[in-house]
Chains A and B, each alone.
Chain A
Amino acid sequence: MSAARGLVLISLCVARVTLAAGAEEVGGYGLDAALAATTAGVAGDPLLAAGDLPGVGRTPLGSGALVLRGANPGDAASLVAGIEVPTLYHFGGVRGVLPVAMLSGVDLHLGEAGAAYGRMAAGALEVRPRALAPAQTETTIDLSLMDTGLFVALPTGPQTAVAIGVRRSHLEPLLAVAVGDVDGITLTKSPRYYDYQLLANGGGVLGGALSLFVFGADDAASVTFANPADFSPAASGARLSFRQSFYRAVVLHHVDRGAALQNDLRLATGRDRTRAAMGDDRYDQDVLSTQVQEALRFAFNDRLDITVGADWLLQVNDLQLRMPRPRLEGEPAGAPGLGPRIALDLADQIETSPAMFVSLEARPFEGLAVFPGLRVDWLSRLAEATFEPRVFIRRRFAAGLGATASLGVFHREPSLEQTDARVGNPQLETGRAVHYTVGGFWRPLPFLMFDARGFYGVLDRLVTRTDAMAVDSDGAAPRRYDNHGRGRMVGLELSARHETHAGVSGFVSYTLSRSTRRDDIASAYRPFDGDQTHVVSAAFSYALPRDFGVAVRCRYASGRPTTPVVGVVFNADTDQYDPTYGKPNSARLAPAHRLDVRVDKRWHDGEQRFSVFVELHNVSSHRDPEGLQYDYGVGESRPQRGLPLLPFFGVEASL
């Protein structure tokens, strides 16, 4: 794969939005969207900057997974305005699905999340839509070799506004160069994505504020192998295709009567579609979802606020699949296309997940806030009720010092195919996690913040594979999966933030952690796939004279665990060597690191603003190890390398 691609990126520039209290008030971490978009190495995408937050591990190229405190990515949730979505990224991390113009901030909720957050075990990444308040029509053109976007916001009346955004990729020229180097592989349909948004703010009932947010994303790609044996000797087709799309229409109604009464009502409906196929293998999932969230907050007295709420999720699932049984966390990836197949055909399977929650904010005396809460969910697919007590305590001292502590219980359902009676185990239970944190913070200056927290998490009822049989009145049947896995995560998160002041802004985070699990009582604890002992991120920007700016970002992450190959047996049926594996995740890849730099220049011409920027991603061109590539005999191996140095440059135009 040849190195160094040039991309022209013209992205929009929006006014900075003050960081909302949001997640940080209750122990999370947050990013201002506009400020995050100017971080070096993210090409104007605040969602890509979320990887710099404490507790977030480095994810493999193309996976798009959220690795929070080393846990299984499937245990983390992706949220937009509190509504769950299947993903926040195009193509596993290339771009966020929402442009910065539509966002006010990005919040990371970890073990400290309040009772309003559920159906997750390791945390959630949430984006907050922008509050529209354009004084006049704003039009921004977003044009690049990577994608083209258009954003228009206009006032439609007193306190009402509408914004429309649309963006479509055109990666073909870039990939034609990249894939053109790989013989025998044709991008039948070059990977492409598009996303669209409609945001409207206006007045609601009871003097409230009403917002409508409609958004969606669509990713598709297909690859044709002139010789399918290049993909796998067991391939049953020559063409591998993939498409993932989703949309949501969300109505948000917010009533704010000050401390006396606040109410948030969210109504959402949408559809998720994922299709993949190669030869005889396919995966086709179609989910219709409706979600209603209601939270009423009122002041019981001047020291106690009470929030009561409900969160009801209804999903109608269609799923047809024929594919190798999906690997579980900790299992070696293996050669593609090999392994016994499972087949499933589900139609109109209805799942309903109502939840109730109550949380308090108690302020017994000045400087102390206690947030106890309880969430109760009913999960119809598992016929299981879950109880999730939460408590977050914050104590502020003088001189900007403070301390926090939290305890939270969380649950996450197994996947649909894991609980189906034909290919899974309908008796599975939810995975459970109990998170403990203790920490402190210090804000010596209004623009300077230090945070340190230790965390400990215990996970149980993790899904593991089994050959055991279940015997009941109908006879014996294979269990296939059970809940015998246990895990634990322990670590320390340190962060320091310098908000924009005197032209300087910056953020440093360091996470030291150890995340391990065992699959049954007899086995020893071993690292999670996402366990990374050290994760360090540092990002700084400085405003130079004459409207120049420079920014730099560096990241370091310990290598991810891998399972070593300790022997091989030649499989005469598949013409492959079957590896015999050693202890799961007992080896590690080399560490990953990169350095990004950014230089920008701005101009103002009345209401019009222009800027030019240049970014160099991965200045040292260090190609991070993403996995291991073995030779035919599985004797020698070498790392599969990620992307080299990539230059980005662009022009911002806001009219």
Chain B
Amino acid sequence: MRWPWIFIVTAIIGCDTPLRPDSFVDALQVLAVRATPPWPAPGASATLEALVVAPPGETVRYAWSWCPFSGSAANGYPCLFDELTLKAELDAMLPRSSATLPSYDLGEAATATLPHTVSPLLLRRLCNRAVDEALAGPETDCDPGLWATVALVATTATETVRATKKVFLSFTTSAADNRNPAIGGVLWHQQGSARLLDDQGSVVLPHDAAHALNADVPDSGAETYAPTAGGASRERLLLSWFIDTGALDAGRFLFIPGETPLAQATANVWTLPSAPERVGSPARLWAVLRDNRDGADWVSVVVTIEAAP
């Protein structure tokens, strides 16, 4: 049983300088995808939104889709059940039930909607059938709901990126009790005071300096829930930071209740480079907050670079 020791060794010898800072954005990139609510109840719909960053001047095109049964990540999440076959299966179970099946194609707008309109009874039967035919993994639990996969393809004139997100189509209202976390904004701390950054560039930061930041994440953002194993657990929160100039102390922080303090997980330092030629120009920062139950939120801010004092 060597896996934990190997990770300790890897942590020691492998933690070298990153090839490219995780947090630096200089090309088309999907930073986050959010479903609201994360786990839609029967009859509800999930609104799908994405935080997509592209180089200035580039126009982003969106293509949303979903699939009820996807293959493994190692194979690129192929959809294992084509739409026509799925409709036929539903009609075989209950005539005309396929009319409530949302099209796999969810459109090309910046946002999309995934309706949870198929009867949970039918979905459960479909799920069990998929397990029997090895279209779903053998460990798939079909009782509480269905893990659908939403895919986004973001395209500019020169680049294409693919993103995927799981949306839990719960079969009961109680199983859908899950909210996205909320990030109120990013505060900049200077000389004992804090100022909220906005997306208009109204806050001016000197270049060639380090700036203490703090994400406004309330303690209540980590929900308490009842895991399937029983008892009560509290969500973990992952805060990811991204910038288009300068450097951050760290790209990601993990808040684990009882082990890492929230204040530590939401703090960062943004160092703007020495770049006199950039005085007066904007610098962008994004903060993405995730919980470990598929919730997400984000904030985008812009600061204006000024000369060093």
Contact = CB atoms under 8 A, between A and B. Distances in A.
Max chain A Cβ within 10 angstroms of own Cβ: one of B2, B14, B33, B292: B2
Contacts of A469: 131-132, 134, 138
Contact of B2 (A64, A238, A575): A64
B11 interface: yes
Contact of A480 (B15, B29, B138, B264): B138
Interface string B1-32: 11111111111111110111110000001101
Interface string A160-197: 00000000000000010011001011000001000000
Nearest to B161: A570
Interface stretch (A146-154, A227-235, A489-497): A227-235
B32 to A, nearest CB: 6
Contacts of B10: 62, 336, 627, 640
B297 interface: no
B164 A569 contact: yes
A240 B238 contact: no
Interface stretch (A387-395, A431-439, A530-538, A631-639): A631-639
A630 B14 CA distance: 11
Contacts of B29: 570, 633
A226 B252 CA distance: 12
A208 interface: no
B5 A221 contact: yes
A332 interface: yes
B254 A631 contact: no
Contacts of B211: none
A137 to B, nearest CB: 38
Contact of A185 (B11, B165, B259): B11
A578 B73 CA distance: 6
Interface string B258-298: 01100011000000000000000000000010101010100
Interface stretch (A47-55, A104-112, A273-281): A273-281
Contacts of B21: 632
B22 A632 contact: yes
Given A63-B2, A580-B75, A227 B254 contact: yes
Given A478-B138, A575-B252, A237 B259 contact: yes
Chain B interface bracket (under 10, 10 to 19, 20 to 34, 35 or more): 35 or more
A446 interface: no
Interface string B31-52: 0110000000000000000100
A573 B166 contact: yes
B65 to A, nearest CB: 13
B225 interface: no
A479 interface: yes
Given A223-B11, A640-B13, A229 B254 contact: yes
Contacts, number: 196
A192 B13 CA distance: 17
Contacts of A240: 4, 7-8, 11
A247 B172 CA distance: 53
A629 B76 contact: no
Interface residues of A, number: 82
A641 interface: yes
A482 B149 CA distance: 28
B73 A571 contact: yes
A640 B250 contact: no
A279 B236 CA distance: 11
Nearest to A643: B13
Contact of A239 (B9, B19, B236, B259): B259
Nearest to B22: A632
B118 interface: no
A92 B9 contact: yes
A560 to B, nearest CB: 14
Nearest to A325: B139
A158 interface: no
Given A62-B9, A326-B3, A569-B77, 19 more contacts: A63-B6, A92-B9, A182-B11, A228-B259, A231-B7, A235-B254, A242-B5, A283-B3, A469-B132, A478-B139, A567-B76, A569-B162, A570-B163, A571-B73, A572-B296, A575-B240, A578-B73, A629-B16, A633-B29
Interface of B: 1-16, 18-22, 29-30, 32-33, 50, 73-77, 131-132, 134, 137-139, 161-166, 236, 238, 240, 250-254, 256, 259-260, 264-265, 288, 290, 292, 294, 296
